[in-house]
């Protein structure tokens, strides 16, 4: 084929309130699309069952976090539900420079921080079908106590007010439908001419 293709890496931000199922959607997207690289954030919270250090998060203590903060190592950082999180700037920049599409699975506070400091990105906000459904999901997850669940619900009501700051919104009521919509967004954005630049050659 007489086409030379150049691609620029895409920064994909997927965010939403805790319990909306964005982690499941991110996992399915990563499994289906080898062009996407996951950005592993640092956090001071303890690992949940099944989470692996260096894969899901870099699990560090407050001293190590403070050290990274003093080195200006974070693209964004925030305190969420009593724990500190930060996206490592160097990891993201290196992957984007190599042409990879980098996915940030971060909370709304962190997502807005990134969007305020980065020009070229694609942002998707994941919503639950209702707050009552979100409450059920948080209880079903069985990783938080009742006080923590109520705090997350209060935060969710505030977080959804910022939906207009995102490029896209997906309601995760039916998982397969939500995943199909997310895939469509990603595939369309890959073909945007700011990232996809094909050159047609003479025969």
Question: Is 173's pLDDT higher than 70?
Answer: yes
d(CA 169, CA 158): 16
Query: What pLDDT sits at residue 80?
Result: 81
Distance CA 103, CA 82 (A): 24
Provide the pLDDT for residue 144: 66
Over residues 30-42, the mean pLDDT reads 91
What are 118-159's pLDDT values in tens digits?
889 999 999 999 999 988 888 887 666 888 888 889 999 999
What was the pLDDT predicted at 203? 66
Look at domain 3-200 and name its CATH class: alpha beta
Is it the case that residue 26 has pLDDT exceeding 90?
A: yes
* β-sheet bridge partners, residue 93: none
The confidence band for 199, taking pLDDT boundaries of 50, 70 and 90, is confident
Which backbone phi and psi does 70 adopt, to 5 degrees? -70, -25
Cα separations in angstroms, 15 against 22, 51, 91, 97, 191: 7, 19, 19, 23, 22
CA distance 20 to 169: 12
Q: pLDDT, tens digit, for every residue of 66-96?
A: 999 999 999 989 888 789 999 999 989 888 8
């Amino acid at each position: 084929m007489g086409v030379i293709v150049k691609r620029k890496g895409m920064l994909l931000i997927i965010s939403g309130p805790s319990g909306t199922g964005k982690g499941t959607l991110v996992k399915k997207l990563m499994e289906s699309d080898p062009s996407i690289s996951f950005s592993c954030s640092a956090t001071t919270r303890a690992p949940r069952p099944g989470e692996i250090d260096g894969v899901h998060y870099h699990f560090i203590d407050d001293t190590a976090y403070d050290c990274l903060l003093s080195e200006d190592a974070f693209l964004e950082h925030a305190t969420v539900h009593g724990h500190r999180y930060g996206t490592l700037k160097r990891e993201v920049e290196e992957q984007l420079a190599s042409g990879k599409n980098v996915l940030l699975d971060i909370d709304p506070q962190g997502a807005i921080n990134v969007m305020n400091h980065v020009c070229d990105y694609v942002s998707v906000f994941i919503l639950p079908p209702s707050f009552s459904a979100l409450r059920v999901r948080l209880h079903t997850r069985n990783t938080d106590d009742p006080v923590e669940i109520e705090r997350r619900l209060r935060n969710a009501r505030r977080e959804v007010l910022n939906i207009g700051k995102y490029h896209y919104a997906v309601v995760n009521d039916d998982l397969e439908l939500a995943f199909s919509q997310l895939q469509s967004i990603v595939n369309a954005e890959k073909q945007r001419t700011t990232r996809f630049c094909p050159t047609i050659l003479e025969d």
